[in-house]
Amino acid sequence: MKYIKDLEEGHRLQGVYYCKSKLSTVTKNGKPYDSLILQDRTGVLDTKVWDPNSQGIAEYDAGDFIDVTGEVVIFNNAKQAKLTRIRKAAEGEYDPADYMPVSKKDIGEMYAKLLQLVDSIGDPFLKKLLDAFFREEEFAASFKKASAAKTVHHGFIGGLLEHSLSVAELCDHMCGKYPVLKRDLLVSAALLHDIGKTRELSAFPENDYTDEGQLLGHIVMGAMMVSERAVAIPDFPQQLKTDLEHCIVAHHGELEFGSPKKPALIEALALSLADNMDAKIETFTEVLENNERSGWLGFSKFLDSNVRRT
């Protein structure tokens, strides 16, 4: 079996992969076909089964580990596979750890850095709130394993931790550059801005939207989670709670990007800029990592641009 990141046009695809999703549909001419997303720990691969009723295609579903045979092609400047044989793999034919993407950075080291930032917060109410999340065993375990996205950026185990730490470090740096920023509020908001993703997305291997995630989204859920724990802290200042919640609900910056409110506080603006910067840099990095060609790499819908390797 070859890892997805190592596949190139013309390669034979053979081995066991995780079937992340399966959609049975029809072409414009009414011919049935299946559209799959295959996954291993190096990435995902758009995959098609153009003759799903053939003898070589056995019964399988999304969430199964499947043994496949096919060919890798290039479609719209992206890798895609065409499968001719599929069977559901039996336990013992695969190691689940080979199919779950994980951060390249050490999760324990990242969490230790996060706790150092928590301990640097001087405001006693914000410190208690952060401790209530990040030093609570069940939440910490969930946060360490969560991804920051389904597909766009940091879509791997430890991705939420990696993204949140990076955004908080960027915000900490901004506070040294711009003294007008209230560091305790901004860094606290940065650490908490995406906590709703622990409920919006299910754990790997599914890493898919939960019912709650579909109906509410991580921004609303994150603000609710902060409110729930803040009101449990005696005498937590109402204005501080509201300011923190505003930073969370405004962190996508624009209404069309999913924020219920645009930034009205300078800390909320700073957080939205740091969040966008880290997400976009990671998205571009993943485009480069998933394409070994030099020069122009084609159009990226997530970056809304034709991109080139320098």
User: pTM here?
Assistant: 0.76
Does the N-terminal peptide bond of residue 101 adopt cis geometry, omega within 30 degrees of 0? Answer: no
Final residue of a structural domain among 73, 95, 117: 95
The CATH number linked to 279 is 1.10.3210
To the nearest whole number, what is the mean pLDDT of the chain? Answer: 92
Residue 15 has which token pair? 């081995």
Phi, psi of 161 (to 5 degrees): -65, -45
Distance CA 67, CA 12 (A): 13
Distance CA 21, CA 31 (A): 20
Are residue 23 and residue 128 in the same domain, yes or no? Answer: no
Final residue of a structural domain among 61, 95, 129: 95
pLDDT at 152: 67
Residue 302 lies in a domain: no
Are residue 13 and residue 150 in the same domain, yes or no? Answer: no
The percent of residues in the chain predicted with pLDDT above 70, rounded, is 99
Residue 310 lies in a domain: no
Per the structure, how many domains does the chain have?
A: 2
Expressed as residue numbers, the domain containing 17 is 4-95
Q: Are 23 and 34 in contact (CB under 8 A)?
A: yes
State the alpha helices, DSSP H only, in the chain. Answer: 107-119, 124-134, 137-145, 159-177, 183-192, 197-200, 211-215, 218-230, 238-249, 266-289
Are residue 165 and residue 57 in the same domain, yes or no? Answer: no
- Checking if the pLDDT of 80 tops 90, the result is yes
- Checking if the pLDDT of 283 tops 80, the result is yes
Lowest mean pLDDT across 103-112, 242-251, 293-302 = 293-302
pLDDT tens profile 100-137: 888 889 999 999 999 999 999 999 999 999 999 999 99
Q: Are 258 and 219 in contact (CB under 8 A)?
A: yes
Distance CA 232, CA 148 (A): 27
Residue 127 lies in a domain: yes
pLDDT tens profile 187-201: 999 999 999 999 999
